[in-house]
Amino acid sequence: MKTAKRFIPFVLVIFFLLTSCGYHNPYVYTGPDRQLYITNWQNRTNDLLLDAKIYQSLVRWYQKSGHITVTKEKAGAHLILAGEIISIDLPSLSYGVNNNATEVKVLLTVRYILKDIETGEVLIEVPKETWTEQYTVGATSSASSDNEREALAIIIDDLSERIYLKTLTKLSRK
């Protein structure tokens, strides 16, 4: 019985340390409601739907927030997110028989800016950021094309998530 009583303070200390560790969920913004206007990104590549895919991915990420609403109208918006798709490149990484590529990397280079419309303050400015994802070249051109689309979808989702998290961090500190 005395042994059990000696462990009670130890257990309480551990409990308080774990519950007060300062953990903050980065996916949650609890500040004032904000309206975000996302522009159509300029697309300097030959992938015609790339800007639309990025826009849709960004909207999906911002819909996770209960306090940030994406609006299609600039008038009345608190924030504006603008960007540009600078380039997309597909360099080969490895080669197999007859010097055919077996593995390719997608390189997507973008830039973007998040600005508070009311104050004119630039919250986030990334002048150049390159995202990479590699994929294997399939036996057929359609398999390779599918793999390329999947790699690009991963990049777009990761990019959108990063922008979303940076936005939440900046707004939480404001």
Distance CA 146, CA 32 (A): 42
pLDDT of residue 91: 72
Instruction: Assign residue 98 a region (left: φ > 0; alpha: ψ between -120 and 50; beta: otherwise).
Output: left
Predicted structure pTM score: 0.78
Length of the chain: 174
**Tokens coding 36:** 């975000």
**Tokens coding 82:** 């603008």
| Domains of the chain, each with CATH number or no CATH | 31-173 (3.30.160.150)
pLDDT of residue 12: 59
Residue 24: phi and psi, rounded to 5, are -130, 125
10-residue stretch averages of pLDDT, the chain, 174 residues long: 62 59 63 94 94 97 92 96 95 55 84 97 98 77 72 96 96 82
End-to-end CA distance of the chain: 53
pLDDT of residue 23: 55
pLDDT of residue 50: 96
Distance CA 143, CA 146 (A): 5
pLDDT of residue 19: 57
pLDDT of residue 31: 80
Distance CA 94, CA 135 (A): 11
Asked if 71 and 77 touch (Cβ cutoff 8 Å), the reply is yes
